[in-house]
Chain A
Amino acid sequence: LRIQLALPLVAVLWSGAALAQTAPISQLTTPADITILASTCVGCHGVTYEGAHGVPALRGNKAEDITGMLRAFKANERQPVTMMNRLAKGYSEAEIDALGAHFAKMK
């Protein structure tokens, strides 16, 4: 009897866990998502996003400057360029906005 009682509970717990694992892909970009994406920018833009080796700083820019630049790269409207056009084409509009806000917060 105990096991019979226990089974539905286990099922509930597991489906809860499964739900957390496979939540539907959100159109909104959460701050934590953007922290990961932004953290991969350090490879070229410097470990504190201050710019390095001629690659411009991300820190301290206005949000609209960052988003404007990313959209220009995405549309192939910005020169000179080596890699950012290739990368910006992979960012969603929500990600571009979130990146702008993220770097604007860094003073």
Chain B
Amino acid sequence: MINLSRRDFSRLLGATAATATLAAPSLVRAQGKARIVVIGGGFGGTAAARNLKRWAPEFDVTLVEPAPSHITCPYSNLVLAGRRDLASITHGYDKVKAAGITIIQDAAAGIDATKRQVKLAGGKVLEYDRLIVSPGIDLRWGGLEGYNEADAELMPHAWKAGPQTLLLRKKLEAMPDGGTFVMVAPANPFRCPPGPYERASMVAEYFKQAKPKSKILILDAKESFSKQPLFLDAWEKLYPGMIEWVSLSKDGKVIKVDAKAGTVETELGSVHKADVANIIPPQFAGKIARDAGLTDASGWCPVQPRSFESKQVPNIHVIGDASIAAPMPKSGFAAASQGKVAAAAVIALMKGKPLQEPTWVNACYSHVGTDYAISIAGVYRATEKGLVEVEGAGGISPRQWDDSNRKLESHYADGWYENITTDIWG
């Protein structure tokens, strides 16, 4: 090929300067220090930052996160059960910083994809060669009639772990024995597909010990849910008569909430009175992703399967719950895996190497009762056609298992939580 200086190259391209801007950074930065900015210090973003540093220590990696520590949604249902406290699911960034990652405790206020800059709420501007966006979810206030941010004080969502988790726990503790806990579960897609059902199980565990005459009513906008046969078997065995699940076709879809009256109303007009209500509203990608044009009409971010680079904005990768990564679930483990895939892709792209065609796994446990947990697993592969789940692999724990296997999975679940949080924040 003709040897052109960058200046000649740009001049030759003339009117197509935008193309030069796209092509230039990887060529230029291949020799220098690549600047990678990661937005969001949850499972996805922190795993991406950690693995960028592990696999390319020479890269300049910056993690932008407004909170001083991350409270995980995984295991927050165990806080509701009274098994754990919030401190045990809170992880700081000291070790992340010690790994050589620059931590900026500030919120990303905007992205200028043309200039390749992130503007922070505090006014600072960060330049990047490639950006990884892992903002998680936002709740769609008003997506469910009558349920707005202020209503979450009366009827908590607890779908972002932290004060909302403690508020829901407090309400459950204050509920009299014989009361009804109503949970409103959303349609797909949403964060943590088995989450609502693990939560119902953990609340049942608490009720069984502390207020055994109480009831749990799950009003669902879906016809089926993750690990369903295993949850239903376990509820019958561990909490007979306590948990009622109402599917979409049985008028389970809630269309209106009245937080002050303590009621929820379904599609066909049934009104249910709750002593304690937990509303899990519809969701979409975090604000920064929506503002930056990374989302499509669905409210989620379409990405290239092998790199998790946005299909809509160049040089930006979107991972975790905000991305459209079906058949992968929106889970912490999936987000962390995507962080690793995106980190490897960013390194390959910055060094001008071909993208990988990785395979990876997802392992997800749900606690259902004392010494009783269940799991779902999947093996995924990134191909040209998209993300695929490898056929014949994965799936849920066998239904016919005895108590010893459920106990073993409960033990492994605790190990899983310890390992994955140590891998990311430890």
Contacts and interface: CB of A to CB of B under 8 A. Distances in A.
Interface in B342-364: 344, 348, 354-363
B270 interface: no
20 contacts: A6-B14, A10-B16, A25-B384, A33-B359, A36-B337, A36-B341, A36-B344, A37-B359, A40-B362, A42-B419, A44-B412, A47-B422, A52-B415, A54-B412, A82-B397, A83-B397, A87-B379, A89-B392, A90-B394, A91-B359
A83 B355 contact: no
B361 A90 contact: yes
A92 B34 CA distance: 34
Say whether chain A's binding surface is mostly helix, strand, loop, or mixed. Answer: helix
Interface string A1-20: 01101100110011001001
A90 B379 contact: yes
Interface in B17-76: 19, 23, 51, 55
B376 to A, nearest CB: 9
Given A40-B337, A87-B379, A82 B358 contact: no
Contacts of A21: 304, 306, 355
Contacts of B149: none
B420 A82 contact: no
B201 to A, nearest CB: 19
B363 A90 contact: no
Nearest to A88: B393
Among the interface residues A36, A46, A91, which one has the most CB atoms of the partner chain B within 10 A?
A36
Contacts of A20: 354-355
B418 A53 contact: yes
Interface stretch (B98-106, B163-171, B403-411): B403-411
B13 to A, nearest CB: 6
B419 A90 contact: no
B383 interface: yes
Nearest to A83: B377
Interface string A71-83: 0000000001011
Contacts of A14: 19
A23 B382 CA distance: 12
A106 to B, nearest CB: 14
B280 to A, nearest CB: 25
A89 B344 CA distance: 24
Given A5-B12, A82-B412, A47 B358 contact: no
B317 interface: no
B115 to A, nearest CB: 21
Contacts of A25: 357, 383-384
Contact of A6 (B13, B358, B383): B13
